[in-house]
Chains A and B, each alone.
Chain A
Amino acid sequence: MSNIVIKVENVSKLYRLGEVGTGTLSHDLNRWWAKMLGKEDPTMKVGMVNDRTQKAVGNDYVWALRDVSFDVKQGEVLGIIGRNGAGKSTLLKILSRTTPPTEGTIKAKGRIASLLEVGTGFHPELTGRENIFQNGAILGMTRREITRKFDEIVDFAGVAKYIDTPVKRYSSGMYVRLAFAVAAHLEPEILIVDEVLAVGDAEFQKKCLGKMKDVSMNEGRTVLFVSHNLAAVKTLCDRSVLLSQGTVKEIGQTNHIVTQYVKLNAEHLKRRISYTNEAEAPGNDKIKIISAEVHPDIISVDDDIKVTFDILNKTPHKNFKVAFDLVNANEQIVFSTAADISIATNGTGKAQCHIPANFLNDDIYSVWFYMFTNEMMPLLLLKELLSFEVVDKGRDYAYLGKINGVVRPILKWETTK
């Protein structure tokens, strides 16, 4: 029988858009009047789902979360993923009790400590030592408990030398290390971690991950882990929640959820185009692209990628050069590639390019398509004909941050003593 330590039941959160402070008095009076008449709160009715791409029309309220329900078992590391604006931060804020839900309840067993931001609740003027005590006390620990754990915390953070220096003089790395060390050692039954791994070096990340695993597996404590970093989520969490536009899209095994998340992201990308009507197809009066696609549907760093174009030739020429630039999210051209192709006039031809596995880094890419005659006379240029995402997969080793580089090839190494 699994032991549920957090029960989130139909939690919703309504936010007011625009500048708070203007017209609040009239809104308050409006609400109060409706209440007196026994009507529904007039401001609650007009709320809509949270979709940032849509402009708020005619109302100032938005549901940042809508009917979110899930359970967390004891000792579980639960991942929470979702695009920006999906409601992750709002959910965490409610869980850490800095803002109340508009509807629904959350029940929890034990103390909740949250690491929502670097140095949560740290006071810059206080020394590291004073901050450990203050932070611990804020998280609900007694002085005795903190004293008992003090040396361990300092040791873990590796800031022994600076412990009597005000934390405002700390480097950001030291700051995070101390913050994480306090939260992880103060034995909250439930620990909420948000994107904290984005900072800190590989050595410290390894320590954090080890500690988080340790905390959940050996001490039976529960961790909620919120991150954009899919590799970290895959490595740490058995189960994950996918949030989208303020609602729970799916809950399940992390691998499956990450796949769903990538699919959700892919909806915003043009991974496949296909036209039955020639007139609508992209191109010009010389060359048309009838269809094009990137394969497979979900592309991991270690997947072979196939880029296919179906081309209609409306010129008298027969021999062409087909080419594309692969452009990453920073608008850098990763590479250009070209091939010869022969297509009969008014006929179609298929061109397929193979991009090997373990070559592209995780990023979002777009395909800029070119056609030339054999004499290098340009016929067609289509910017951003296709776009796709290459995602990182889980890793067994310590570092879970983004791996640097435009490409990520696996190269041959020879090492000698």
Chain B
Amino acid sequence: MKETNEEWTIVIKPHAGLFDIDFREILQYRDLLMIFIRRDLIGLYKQTLLGPLWFFIQPILTTIVYVVVYGGIMQQTTDNKPQILFYLSGIVLWNYFSDCLIATSNTFITNAAIFGKVYFPRVILPLSKVISNLLKMFIQLLLLVVAYIVFLILHKYTFQVNLYILTLPLLVVIMANLGLGLGMIVTSLTTKYRDLQNLIVFGVQLLMFAAPIIYPLSKFEHTRFHIFFVLNPVTAVVETFRASVLGGPVDLKMLGYSFTVSLVLLIVGFLIFNKVERSFIDTV
């Protein structure tokens, strides 16, 4: 009786190679991915009074807070752009990134119970978070469209949307890469060193202050803080998006830098995640 290795559909080995990622298997589990995405979306408003309205309430409240605190009290400049549109455009994209990052960064810890009992490609879970948050972001973009129309009609705002809006898919991909990549790195490390878990919320906040969310990049053009904004891969994404809907200059070189960084983080995150997922249950 001769046996070839192809006969075996499952081979359980002590150590997976670094690049030993079974993409075909991930494809086989696409129905599970769909179920998780549905669960994530429904879970956001299950047992709440306002239901799906929460998709809108959160960015509206944040925008109001920013308009009052940063625009009103602190008199921050918004580059002569309508405050509401300025903040909202930043918030929608930023929220996507931070939601992805925070949701994926606790993958292992929150799912330890299920991971300890049953096998499926672990990467399905962070993927589902990224996709369900993507849907959430599109819904919130509608809010921006509505606000924009209101401004066009009521405030005689000139239509500023330009061809750069075509980069939106790329911008979304960069944000998804960043959120997923960083999230997977963090969750992989937290299985052994829980310290990171406490730092992540703080880290995200810090990253937001180093991104042009509540102020335009131009404000820091000639200050010593400028370098932090330039190094932050989120900067180019938010700036490009704002320029595409509210007008302004676009720096394609910086956008290229953001894309490269996001891709590197995604790959590194994927590799670390793949390595940790097999043995984390012993260390968690």
Q: Does B81 contact A (CB under 8 A)?
A: no
Measured in the bound complex, the distance between the Cα atoms of B279 and A16 in whole Å is: 13
B60 to chain A, nearest CB (A): 28
Measured in the bound complex, the distance between the Cα atoms of B138 and A182 in whole Å is: 36
Asked if residues A137 and B29 are in contact (CB atoms below 8 Å), the reply is yes
Q: Tell me which of B10, B14, B29 contacts A103 (CB under 8 A).
A: B14
Q: Which residue of chain B has its CB nearest to the CB of A100? A: B278
Segment among A114-122, A242-250, A289-297 that sits at the interface with chain B: A114-122
| Residues of B with C-beta under 8 A to A415 | none
Q: Does B9 contact A (CB under 8 A)?
A: yes
Provided the pairs A107-B10, A109-B9, A138-B32 are in contact, do residues A121 and B117 lie with their beta carbons within 8 angstroms?
Answer: yes
Q: Does A108 contact B (CB under 8 A)?
A: yes
Asked if residues B119 and A98 are in contact (CB atoms below 8 Å), the reply is yes
Asked if residues A120 and B117 are in contact (CB atoms below 8 Å), the reply is yes
Asked if residues B194 and A96 are in contact (CB atoms below 8 Å), the reply is no
Asked if residues B7 and A109 are in contact (CB atoms below 8 Å), the reply is yes
Task: Tally inter-chain residue pairs, CB-CB below 8 A.
Answer: 113
Measured in the bound complex, the distance between the Cα atoms of B283 and A21 in whole Å is: 8
Interface magnitude class on chain B:
35 or more
Asked if residues A137 and B31 are in contact (CB atoms below 8 Å), the reply is yes
Interface string of B269-284 (1 = CB under 8 A from A): 0000000001101110
Segment among A139-147, A340-348, A350-358 that sits at the interface with chain B: A139-147
| Residues of A with C-beta under 8 A to B32 | 134, 137-138
Q: Tell me which of B31, B35, B117, B283 contacts A20 (CB under 8 A).
A: B283
Measured in the bound complex, the distance between the Cα atoms of B15 and A103 in whole Å is: 9
Q: Which residue of chain B has its CB nearest to the CB of A94? A: B12
Q: Tell me which of A28, A96, A123, A140 contacts B29 (CB under 8 A).
A: A140
B15 to chain A, nearest CB (A): 7
Q: Does B39 contact A (CB under 8 A)?
A: yes
Provided the pairs A99-B279, A121-B117, A138-B32 are in contact, do residues A105 and B12 lie with their beta carbons within 8 angstroms?
Answer: yes
Measured in the bound complex, the distance between the Cα atoms of B255 and A344 in whole Å is: 106
Asked if residues A114 and B31 are in contact (CB atoms below 8 Å), the reply is no
Asked if residues A97 and B12 are in contact (CB atoms below 8 Å), the reply is yes
Asked if residues B118 and A104 are in contact (CB atoms below 8 Å), the reply is no
Measured in the bound complex, the distance between the Cα atoms of B14 and A137 in whole Å is: 26
| Residues of B with C-beta under 8 A to A126 | 39
Q: Does B192 contact A (CB under 8 A)?
A: yes
Asked if residues B14 and A25 are in contact (CB atoms below 8 Å), the reply is no
Asked if residues A25 and B118 are in contact (CB atoms below 8 Å), the reply is no
Interface centre among B115, B119, B193 (most CB of A within 10 A): B119
Asked if residues B29 and A112 are in contact (CB atoms below 8 Å), the reply is no
Q: Does B28 contact A (CB under 8 A)?
A: yes
| Residues of A with C-beta under 8 A to B193 | 24-25
| Residues of B with C-beta under 8 A to A111 | 9-10
Measured in the bound complex, the distance between the Cα atoms of B283 and A108 in whole Å is: 26
Q: Does B120 contact A (CB under 8 A)?
A: yes
Measured in the bound complex, the distance between the Cα atoms of B12 and A93 in whole Å is: 11
B186 to chain A, nearest CB (A): 17
Q: Tell me which of B29, B31, B115 contacts A98 (CB under 8 A).
A: B115
Measured in the bound complex, the distance between the Cα atoms of B15 and A405 in whole Å is: 50
| Residues of A with C-beta under 8 A to B14 | 100-105
B2 to chain A, nearest CB (A): 11
Q: Does A57 contact B (CB under 8 A)?
A: no
List 13 additional contacts besides A95-B12, A130-B35; criterion CB under 8 Å.
A1-B1, A20-B282, A98-B118, A105-B11, A108-B10, A110-B9, A112-B119, A116-B118, A123-B39, A134-B39, A138-B32, A140-B120, A141-B31
Interfacial residues, chain A to chain B (CB-CB below 8 A): 1, 7, 15-16, 20-21, 24-25, 28, 93-112, 114, 116-117, 120-121, 123, 125-126, 130, 133-134, 137-143
Interfacial residues, chain B to chain A (CB-CB below 8 A): 1, 7-16, 28-29, 31-32, 34-35, 39, 43, 46, 114-120, 192-194, 278-279, 281-283
17 pairs of residues in contact across A and B, judged by CB atoms under 8 Å: A1-B1, A25-B193, A93-B281, A96-B117, A96-B118, A97-B12, A98-B118, A105-B11, A106-B11, A107-B8, A107-B12, A121-B114, A121-B117, A130-B35, A137-B35, A139-B118, A143-B31
